[in-house]
Amino acid sequence: MKKAIAWFDDRLPIFSYMKKNLVEFKEPKNLNWMWTFGSLAGIALVIQILSGVFLAMHYKPDVNLAFDSIQQIMRNVDGGWIIRNMHAVGASFFFAVVYLHIGRGMYYGSYKAPREVMWWMGIILFFLMMATAFMGYVLPWGQMSYWGAKVITNLFSVIPFVGEDVVVWLWGGFNVGDPTLNRFYALHYLVPFIIVGVVILHIWAVHHKHSNNPTGKTLKKKTDFVPFHPYYTAKDTVGLSVYLIIFCFMLFFMPDYLGHTDNYIPANPIQTPPHIVPEWYFLPFYAILRAIPIKEIGVIAMGISIAILFVLPWLDRSKVVSGRYRPIFKWMFLVFVLNFFVLGWVGSKPPEGIYVLISRISTAVYFSYYLLLPFISKFEKTKPEHETL
Amino acid sequence: MKKIIFTLAVSLVFSASAFASSGNEVEKQEWSFNKLTANWEKDKIKRGYTVATQVCINCHSFKYVSHRNLMEVGFSEVEAMAMAATMDTKINKPLLSALEPTDAKDSFGKIPPDLSVINKAREGGADYVYAILTGYPEEIPIDFEGANYNTAFAGHNIAMPAPLSEDLIEYEDGTPATIEQMAHDVAYFLQWTAEPELLKRKKLGTYVLVYLFIFAILAILVNRRIWARLKK
């Protein structure tokens, strides 16, 4: 067996490559638990793809059959309800993990030199994930699927001159309908594999310049590192087991908690639901969209609210990488995160009365983080960084 | 970092409770299916089935349910076939209402929704269905204008006339057919039709969680051991 592997590896060094990148790869030895979310995100992606492939074997992308086919999966396919709940709950957990992963990067300055390109790959991944999740949510063809698709695709109508045509082009008709569902299904199956590709680039970049670490310092000493296996395989397994406990709790005891009851009502183009709300993981951005009374500007603000992450490495001018040593940044970041929850909460509320005001204030707070950062980071007095690990 | 994590955790708990939206006048009932060890109770399903197939089916369909499904909750094939026969249908046929959608529209202004997954399609689930069915008060507000007054329905104006009345049907097992009893039984039945896997799911989930707890403890021990090497 060994000989056969060596023979193969000599011709296509896939085994030594995997060994180098997944086993012997050197990681800083001081990574804390916040660093487990990277590998958890990878596992969440694999869970989505595997469960998704099995769902695809039974799902029917047809406006007259889609809703029924989900019920067929839940009732008549062996283990169908597990797979389906796993996929639905798994999407939420994927986002939760990725939000934590991004938050960790923002706090510990993982976006700073020399990791900007790695950071970009991450943002691209986030965009791709959002596109995939959005299209996936349309597939069950419930009320929220339909109306969510309608609201979000309609945003493209703000594009000057060609907006309306773009929307018709996206729909493949003059309304969200059968062609829309079909193409969303095709893309929902395709994009995850593009995600896999970008994940490889993302990890490649990480391995090229090494992982950041809680001190943010560039580590040079050999003793500062440990091989990925067994140290971080063991640590990430602990992270995974805790993740699986929470995941399985949701999966087996409250699989519909994170979803919307309206999505168990078949899509009805002539009956608008009282409140159209996206999935929880889109709510902060949805709140920004609605906070601004002019639709065009709202759409742009929503786009920028995420795209601004691309320039974050240059907005932050502090020489100190890790938030640990940055007393003002630390509190700014805390306010940013808390405000993000407020945005999410207000995004789930109808856009009326006090909620409008709250959404405007927290939209302002959201952007002020990025606007203040260049100045604060320049003048902030940082604490001395620890010398040794 | 510790302080930050703590503040985050606290705010998470708060925001989670804020996300759980409030319903209208829906009181929580006791449901045996909420118990972890519960099985679907055959006699309750039978009573709920009786209400569903003698009352509700005049207007509503249950398109994901056939008599064969009853065999999953303890009915024998012979029983299921006999029940199908009394309804002039076959064991594999879905339970569909004879009411035409156009006729329904003429009579009620609305098409009665399919009830198979209704408990999942409404905030409050079985509690909500119970509240709707028992939510027709004898005295309605004098300023009410509309078809039928219902305390639980959003806006209170529901197109469905009160479907239940005292002793509307006769239970085979002799249980008195009060409105509350029938509402409870049919809401229980609808929980089963909405998620037949519910009880299986929770039981399997318990085993999975126990397994994962053991796995987590082992993982923690292994992890400690491995990192202890570094200290030497």
Task: Parse chain B into domains and list their residue ranges.
Answer: 24-204
Same domain (yes/no): A242, A326: no
Q: How many CA atoms lie within 13 A of A191 on its CB side?
A: 19
A226: phi then psi, degrees, rounded to nearest 5: -130, 155
- Asked if B17 is an interface residue toward chain A (Cβ–Cβ < 8 A), one would say no
pLDDT at A189 over 70: yes
Same domain (yes/no): A53, A108: yes
Residue B148: enclosing H or E segment and its boundaries?
Answer: strand B148-149
- The span from the CA of A34 to the CA of A41, in Å, is 12
- The span from the CA of A145 to the CA of A56, in Å, is 17
Same domain (yes/no): A295, A211: no
Look up the domain containing A205 and give its range: 29-276
> Strand, helix or coil at B167?
coil
Considering A236, A260, A276, which residue would you say is the last residue of a domain? A276
Query: Which two structure tokens, joined as six digits, stand for A272?
Result: 């608008």
Question: In sequence order, which ranges of chain A are alpha helices (DSSP H)?
Answer: 2-11, 14-18, 36-56, 66-76, 80-107, 116-138, 143-154, 163-171, 178-209, 233-253, 283-291, 295-307, 312-315, 327-347, 354-379
A274: phi then psi, degrees, rounded to nearest 5: -55, -45
Name the closest residue on chain A to residue B200, using Cα atoms.
Answer: A252
DSSP sequence for A40-73 = HHHHHHHHHHHHHHHHHTT---STTTHHHHHHHH
In a domain, A17, yes or no: no
Amino acid A384: pLDDT: 83
Per-residue confidence band for B2, with pLDDT thresholds at 50, 70 and 90: low
Measuring CA to CA, how many Å separate B215 from each of A94, A232, B220? 22, 17, 9
Q: How far is A238 from chain B (nearest CA, A)?
A: 5
In a domain, A60, yes or no: yes
- pLDDT, tens digit, 9 for 90 and up, residues B161-178: 999 999 999 999 999 999
Please tell me which of the candidates A238, A251, A324 has its beta carbon nearest to residue B1: A324
Same domain (yes/no): A70, A83: yes
Q: How many domains does one find in chain A?
A: 2
Q: How far is A129 from chain B (nearest CA, A)?
A: 23
Place of tokens 């003048």: A379
- The span from the CA of A162 to the CA of A65, in Å, is 33
Name the closest residue on chain A to residue B216, using Cα atoms.
Answer: A241
Considering A255, A276, A297, which residue would you say is the last residue of a domain? A276
pLDDT at B14 over 80: no
Same domain (yes/no): A136, A266: yes
pLDDT at B143 over 50: yes
The per-residue pLDDT of chain B, averaged, comes to: 91
In a domain, A6, yes or no: no
Amino acid B19: pLDDT: 44
- The span from the CA of A138 to the CA of A141, in Å, is 6
In a domain, A333, yes or no: yes
Cis peptide leading into residue A61 (ω within 30°): no
- Asked if B211 is an interface residue toward chain A (Cβ–Cβ < 8 A), one would say no
Active site residues of A: 207, 211, 235-236, 279
Residue B103: enclosing H or E segment and its boundaries?
Answer: helix B101-108
Q: Which residues of A touch B117 (CB under 8 A)?
A: 71, 264
Interface touch B202/A253, C-beta < 8 Å: yes
Measuring CA to CA, how many Å separate A241 from each of A27, A57, A255, B232? 21, 29, 19, 27
Which B residues 140-159 touch A at CB under 8 Å?
Answer: 154
User: Please, are residues A117 and A125 in contact by the beta-carbon 8 Å criterion?
Assistant: no
Average pLDDT in the A227-249 region? 97
Q: Which residues of B touch A337 (CB under 8 A)?
A: 4, 8
Q: How far is B205 from chain A (nearest CA, A)?
A: 5
Cis peptide leading into residue A269 (ω within 30°): no
- The span from the CA of B77 to the CA of B65, in Å, is 15
- Asked if A337 is an interface residue toward chain B (Cβ–Cβ < 8 A), one would say yes
Amino acid B11: pLDDT: 54
- This complex has an ipTM of 0.91
Interface touch B122/A261, C-beta < 8 Å: yes
Same domain (yes/no): A257, A345: no
Interface probe, candidates A84, A237, A280, chain B, greatest B C-beta count within 10 A: A237
Q: Between A236 and B6, name the one with better pLDDT.
A: A236
B160: phi then psi, degrees, rounded to nearest 5: -85, 120
Name the closest residue on chain A to residue B72, using Cα atoms.
Answer: A75
Per-residue confidence band for B20, with pLDDT thresholds at 50, 70 and 90: very low
Name the closest residue on chain A to residue B35, using Cα atoms.
Answer: A253
Query: Which two structure tokens, joined as six digits, stand for B188?
Result: 């229980």
- Angle value at C-alpha A217, between A214 and A219, nearest 5 degrees: 105
Same domain (yes/no): A246, A122: yes
Q: Name every residue whose Cβ is closer than 8 Å to that of residue A370 and which is 6 or more positions away in sequence.
A: A308, A312, A315
- pLDDT, tens digit, 9 for 90 and up, residues A285-315: 999 999 999 999 999 999 999 999 999 999 9
Average pLDDT in the A381-385 region? 84
Average pLDDT in the B74-86 region? 96
- pLDDT, tens digit, 9 for 90 and up, residues A65-88: 999 999 999 999 999 999 999 999
User: Please, are residues A104 and A34 in contact by the beta-carbon 8 Å criterion?
Assistant: yes
Which B residues 156-175 touch A at CB under 8 Å?
Answer: none
Which A residues 344-383 touch B at CB under 8 Å?
Answer: 344-345, 348
Please tell me which of the candidates B196, B201, B215 has its beta carbon nearest to residue A75: B196
> Strand, helix or coil at B95?
strand
Name the percent of chain B lying above pLDDT 90: 86
Inter-chain contacts counted by CB atoms under 8 A, chains A and B: 98
Q: Domain containing A146 — which CATH number? A: 1.20.810.10
Interface touch B15/A280, C-beta < 8 Å: no
Average pLDDT in the B137-141 region? 91
User: Please, are residues A96 and A298 in contact by the beta-carbon 8 Å criterion?
Assistant: no
Q: Which residues of A touch B220 (CB under 8 A)?
A: 238, 241
Place of tokens 């085993």: B207
Residue A227: enclosing H or E segment and its boundaries?
Answer: strand A225-227
Task: Kindly report the length of chain B.
Answer: 232
Same domain (yes/no): A364, A261: no
In a domain, A248, yes or no: yes
Interface touch B4/A330, C-beta < 8 Å: yes
Q: Name every residue whose Cβ is closer than 8 Å to that of residue A104 and which is 6 or more positions away in sequence.
A: A34, A35, A37, A110
Interface touch A235/B7, C-beta < 8 Å: no
Measuring CA to CA, how many Å separate A238 from each of A231, B134, B214? 11, 50, 11
Query: Which two structure tokens, joined as six digits, stand for A146?
Result: 């339909």
Q: Between A264 and B20, name the one with better pLDDT.
A: A264
Interface touch B220/A71, C-beta < 8 Å: no
Please tell me which of the candidates B117, B208, B219 has its beta carbon nearest to residue A248: B208
Average pLDDT in the A35-48 region? 98
Interface touch B18/A337, C-beta < 8 Å: no
Interface probe, candidates A338, A346, A358, chain B, greatest B C-beta count within 10 A: A338
Per-residue confidence band for A21, with pLDDT thresholds at 50, 70 and 90: confident
Closest CA to A296 of A201, A159, A117, A174: A159
Interface touch A238/B223, C-beta < 8 Å: yes
**Cα-to-chain-centroid distance, residue B132:** 13
- The span from the CA of A132 to the CA of A121, in Å, is 16
pTM summary value: 0.94
In a domain, A145, yes or no: yes
User: Please, are residues A280 and A92 in contact by the beta-carbon 8 Å criterion?
Assistant: yes
Considering A276, A292, A316, which residue would you say is the last residue of a domain? A276
Amino acid B22: pLDDT: 39
Same domain (yes/no): A186, A231: yes
The DSSP bridge pattern shows strands B148-149 and B94-95 to be unpaired
Closest CA to A366 of A287, A294, A296: A287
Please tell me which of the candidates B121, B122, B219 has its beta carbon nearest to residue A241: B219
* Domain at B24-204, CATH class: mainly alpha
Same domain (yes/no): A287, A208: no
Name the closest residue on chain B to residue A279, using Cα atoms.
Answer: B19
Please tell me which of the candidates A252, A264, A280 has its beta carbon nearest to residue B208: A252
Amino acid A387: pLDDT: 58
Q: Which residues of A touch B208 (CB under 8 A)?
A: 248, 252
Name the closest residue on chain B to residue A247, using Cα atoms.
Answer: B209
Q: How far is A232 from chain B (nearest CA, A)?
A: 9
- The span from the CA of A58 to the CA of A66, in Å, is 10
Query: Which two structure tokens, joined as six digits, stand for A114?
Result: 């020399």
> Strand, helix or coil at A274?
coil
Amino acid B24: pLDDT: 67
Q: How far is A17 from chain B (nearest CA, A)?
A: 24
Same domain (yes/no): A265, A339: no
Q: Name every residue whose Cβ is closer than 8 Å to that of residue A334 and which is 6 or more positions away in sequence.
A: B4, B7, B8
Interface touch B202/A252, C-beta < 8 Å: yes
Same domain (yes/no): A293, A271: no
Q: How far is A264 from chain B (nearest CA, A)?
A: 5
Q: Which residues of A touch B7 (CB under 8 A)?
A: 334, 338
Amino acid B21: pLDDT: 40
User: Please, are residues A226 and A26 in contact by the beta-carbon 8 Å criterion?
Assistant: yes
In a domain, A2, yes or no: no
- Angle value at C-alpha B27, between A344 and B125, nearest 5 degrees: 60
Which A residues 213-232 touch B at CB under 8 Å?
Answer: 226, 230-231
